[in-house]
Each structure stands twice: as structure tokens, then as C-alpha cells.
Amino acid sequence: MEEVIREKALPPADASADRASDRAGAPPARPRAVLDRITSPSDLKGLSREELARLCDEVRDFVIEVVSRKGGHLGASLGVVELTVALEACLDLPRDRLVWDTGHQAYVHKVLTGRREALWTIRQFGGISGFLKRDESPYDAFGAGHASTAISAALGMAAARDLAGERHRVVAVVGDGAMTGGLAYEALNNAGHSGRNLLVVLNDNGMSISPNVGAVAQYLTSIKMSPRLKKLRDEGLNLLRKLPAGGQMRGAAERVEAAINSALAPGGVFQSLGFNYFGPVDGHDLNLLMHLIPKVLERPGPVLLHVLTRKGKGLTAAEEDDESFHGVTPFDRATGKTLAAPAVPGPSYTAVFGRAMIEAADRFPRMVAITAAMASGTGLAPFKEMHPRRFFDVGIAEAHAVCFAAGMACDGIRPVVTVYSTFLQRAFDQVVHDVALQRLPVVFALDRGGLVGADGSTHHGVLDLAYMRAVPGMVLAAPRDGNELRDLLWTALSQEDGPFAFRFPREAAPPGYDPSRPPKILPIGSWEELHDGSGIAFLAVGAMVESALEARRGLEARGIRAAVINCRFVKPVDATMLPRLRQRFPLLITVEENTLTGGFGDGVLEALEGAGLPMDGVVRLGIPDGFTTHGGRAQLLDHVGLSPRGLEERALDALAGGGRGPQAAPA
């Protein structure tokens, strides 16, 4: 009975993708002499260097125009304009494979691959994705929204090419932020000694979202050339470019060029891994890139080209504040100031959590905060400022973050691992093997739990209740509001018998948040009956409590009194209240912003079965078995049937059908 919610399939990226409907809400098209002629990368082949340079200016201006009006990931894309143009002019796409890590830097790629006008719909419901998607364009060789995957995927494509006896080129573009992730080094280690023809372009802008941390970032900084050394190398390369093509002189010149790069660019770590290393080079020097890229593509074996770029290049505000301009809401491009946003009823859950962590630091002196390159995104920046010795940013390394926390917990520290829900998926083995198996009291604070909105399927946190519920000894909870979020943090830090996880959404906390109210320590597994009713009860988790309360009001207008239960603990369930609810209500509707498979609703059924109680009349509402697309959060909740209106309609359907047998209501 479950309807699979699939990503919207879009037509191949060609001229037909530039439909008039894509410009809904866009300003009148401004003429751009070169960009207007580009419908695919093949159109770059016949352009002169002057035209390519003008194209860079025009596409940078266009991306700024769109993102300033629509929002999105801006800084990284502005930093790779020249690199993208050079790569797509030199490669034969889509025959050659171009793999972008994460996708934050791929807006220019989308523009050049037939999605220029579709960019006006980016990250909107029914529009194109903010990341790379294989089913959106044949030019998107590999989909990704999580960092550090590009080198592994590209190496797999190179191996597939070699097995098929083909000769196309494979290129991975990876940011230096992704190089703080262990997966990137596993791939480099494998690729470097494979001998396969593969080009890795390291886009080094010194940032991922927050400033990069760790020895890798320090190493990349150390090998960036001094101005004097760079001038010496550039003068040598410029002299070599003036030599006539062909013959022994050209061959000798190329050998000298290789020697200059080797002598003056100490990329020792990459060379020790088996890569031919070139760089660092100016990633905004289009002529230099157009000269170097064909040459490094011709080199046999694995090659790493290290380019230096400026995040936010071409927009003064973004260059001066690259962290804030990583991802933006609509802004005034003249001033860089964010446009007035709709008023929200109160602080976000993230802000409430950040404030609660500062409070908790005074109450729990052994508590520390750990994050994975997301200090600002998870609300921990103020904590970092106030307690720098108790704050640990490990880089884009979630698995390490969890194991690091486990080591701390072994010696009496109380770590709070704070990550986006979707990113904890990358550390599941550490949650099980290193934390839960040893019953270590690590706290997991999962931001962006549920549907996150415009970032879409790669970032929705809709699996956490299922996979964390499966971990033995895990206490799992979700607050209904900001006050309860503080309560759960206090509760988690007050118990030391194993791990404790709670998740909260990316939205404003409901009205009523009171920071002056003392936090409470809640009994583990306790639920809360918010409203009594007759015949039907909503058993709601986290943010779905507010939706259930609103649905209750709609049902009450129809003469139906529905009870609403705040099921703040997903595991363990309330072993006292659940049997009583089963006796009182013929129809129980579980509501969770999580996949139905293995989620809270399944936990309720398991508990009823374990207690020998009837499971008839239990309806499970949640995310169907599929990947939910991108769009506004309210749109997506309505799309999957979890809006207040959707809950009301499903309750009426269940009442009309008698609610016989446990079921997952169709979306």
C-alpha cells in the first residue's frame, strides 16, 4: 500500500531543457553574447581564448544573478568558473567522465550543459537539483551531496573503462575540504598504485563550509608557493610556451616543463601515493589552465593537478565572507545583504540547541562538543568562542568523530557529537562497534532530522530513527519543541549507561520556547498525553507533534475528538502508557518524519506484539520507501502526506475503513 516517492525525472540536458516555463519568476533575460550561444560543452570547442574569457565573465554574472534571487550554494561555484570552462572545453563530454565532488561547485557545470534557464528552478519543488544527479543530465557522471566521494567514483569509472578496452578520460574535481575526509585518502591510496589513467583536480580554496582544519589543510597551505618562487616558475613556463610546436625542441621543452613543475612544486605526499603532481597553479588563470589541462590529460597513470582558487570570486561580499556565502538565501547583489525573510515565530531548533550547549557546559563540566566541519551549521559557533578547549572540529570525518568521542568517553569525558542526521550515516559502524557495543555514554545530537527542504534527497535526515533504533542499548528521542530539546540534552548528559541520541528538524521551534525555564531531566522512555480524545489517538514524534495538534483541530471541527500523544522517546517506548492507549483507542495512528521501514511505527507494533496486545487498528504514517525530492519543507510534507491536512485526511480514511490491521497508509 506504500507509494514510492521518487525523484522527478528531468529530460536530458540539451537545448530543450531551456523551456520558457523554467523562467517563472525570473527577470527578463539579459543578452550575454557568448553564453547565449552555449547549449552544451561541445559549443566551447570553437571559441577563441578571448571568447572563453568573456564566457567566464558572463557565466559568473549569470550565476550571481540567479542565486541572488533564488538562493543556493554560491561561493564554491564562483571559485571554479575558469576551471569549469577550461575542463569542459578540453574534455569530450559526456564521452569523457567529469566527476564533481559534492556538487556545491557545479552550478557553472549545469549552466554549460544545457541547464542555463533551468537554473532559475534550482532547489525548488519540481525544478533541478542543487547537486549532481545522473537522472537529470547525461553530463552528470556521478551524483553526490556528501563530500569526499569523487576520487573513489572516478577510479571505479577508470577501472570500468579499462575492462571495456575503451580510451576516454576520467577526471575527478575535489575540493580541499573534501580532502579532510578519510574516503578521499582511501581512494588516493588505491588510485596511486593502480597505474590507471586518472586526473584528480584538487580545487584548493582553503574552505569547505567552515575553514578547513587539521594537518592536511596545514600541508596544503605549506606547499602553496611563495610569490618569488611562483614568479620564477611562471616565467619559465611562459618562455616554454613561446617555443614552436613539433619536433625535438617541443619534446625537450615538455621535459623541461615537467622538471620545473617537479622541482618547484613540492607535492610530496601525493607523489608518495603514486601520483604525478602538478601545481599549485592559479585556478583563475584561464590561459594557463587551457595550456596545462591537455598536457596533464596526456600523462599516463594517475595525475593530480593542484589549483588555487578564491571562493566567491567575482562578488566582493562573497570574497570577504566566504563562509556566509557558502550557501545563501536571496540577497542584494550590490550590497551582499540578505533580503528580508518571512518572519518566524521564534528561534530555530539549531539556535536553541547552541544556547543549550552553552548552558550545559556550566552544569556538566566534563561535557565537550564535537562536530565534523559544521560548527556554524549546527549552532556550535558561540560554544566554540566561549569554550575553545572543549570544542573539537575534526573536519569532514564523521567516522573519526564518533570513534574519537568513544575514546574520550572511555576516560570520563562526556562528548556530544553534533552532526547533520544525513552525515551520521557515514559513521554507522562506529556508532555500533565503538560506542554501543562498549556501552559508552556518547550523546548524539542530530540536526536536520526529517525533511530538510531544498537540499533534497542527499540531505534529508529520514533514516536516523530506523538505523539508530536498531542499535542495541541506544536511547533515541525527538523533542516536540525548544523547551523539550533542552530537557533531552540535560537528560542525555545526566545518564551514563550507554549512548543517547536525539534528533531535531531544520525549522523554527514552535512558539512557547522559554530560555529562563529550568531544564528538566525526563524519565527514560516516558511519553506525554497532550490531549485526550475518543476513538482515535495520534502517536506523534518530534516535529510531527505540532502537525498532529493542528490535524486534531481540523478533526474537532468535524465532531471527531482525537487524542495527541507526544512520543518523545522512540526507543524505548513508554511501556506503561502504550498498553493503556491500546485499551482506550480502537485506532492508533503513529506519525513520524522518518522512513516507515524500521521506524517508530514498527517499534510500536513490536512493543504491542511483545506485550501480547492486538495490533489491529494501528496505522503508520511516515516517509514511504523511496527517496524524497527537493523543495520547500511544507511542500514536501504535503507531498508525502505528513502535513496537518494530510494527517487529517488519513485519519478520516482510517476511520472510514475501520482501521483493520496494521497498515502503512498510502501517500
Q: Catalytic positions, please?
A: 311, 398, 426
- Are 615 and 607 in contact by the 8 Å Cβ rule? The answer is no
| Cα 500–Cα 504–Cα 506 angle in degrees, nearest 5 | 150
What pairs with residue 338 in β-bridges?
331
Residues 6+ apart with CB under 8 A from 194: 155, 158, 159, 274, 302
- For residue 225, CA distances in Å to 338, 408, 437 come to 36, 38, 47
- For residue 529, CA distances in Å to 103, 540, 615 come to 44, 10, 20
Rounded Cα gap, residues 145 and 456, in angstroms: 9
Residues 6+ apart with CB under 8 A from 114: 12, 13, 14, 15, 17, 18, 39, 40, 137, 139
Rounded Cα gap, residues 333 and 67, in angstroms: 9
Number of neighbouring beta carbons within 10 Å of residue 222: 8
In terms of phi and psi (left: phi > 0; alpha: psi -120 to 50; beta: otherwise), the region of 51 is alpha
Rounded Cα gap, residues 378 and 79, in angstroms: 25
What pairs with residue 589 in β-bridges?
538, 619
Residues 6+ apart with CB under 8 A from 384: 369, 375, 391, 393
Angle of helix 81-90 versus helix 286-298 axis, rounded to 10: 40
Sheet of strand 170-175, all strands in order from the earlier edge strand to the far edge: 97-100, 170-175, 198-204, 302-308, 276-282
- Are 61 and 119 in contact by the 8 Å Cβ rule? The answer is no
Location of C-alpha cell 549512548? 499
| Cα 209–Cα 499–Cα 520 angle in degrees, nearest 5 | 90
- Are 506 and 456 in contact by the 8 Å Cβ rule? The answer is no
What pairs with residue 172 in β-bridges?
99, 200
Task: Give start and end residues of each alpha helix (H) in 273-396.
Answer: 286-298, 316-320, 349-363, 381-386
Rounded Cα gap, residues 22 and 26, in angstroms: 8
Number of neighbouring beta carbons within 10 Å of residue 365: 9
What pairs with residue 416 in β-bridges?
369, 443
φ and ψ at residue 386, rounded to 5 degrees:
-85, -30
Rounded Cα gap, residues 648 and 223, in angstroms: 61
Burial 176-194 (b: 16+ CB within 10 A, else e): bbbbbbebbbebbebbbeb
Rounded Cα gap, residues 95 and 75, in angstroms: 29
Rounded Cα gap, residues 116 and 40, in angstroms: 10
- For residue 332, CA distances in Å to 68, 70, 111, 318, 326 come to 6, 11, 22, 12, 16
Task: Report the candidate in 176, 131, 75, 651 with the shortest Cα–Cα distance to residue 395.
Answer: 176
Burial 121-142 (b: 16+ CB within 10 A, else e): bbbbbebbbbbbbeebbebbbb
> For residue 275, what is the enclosing H or E element?
none
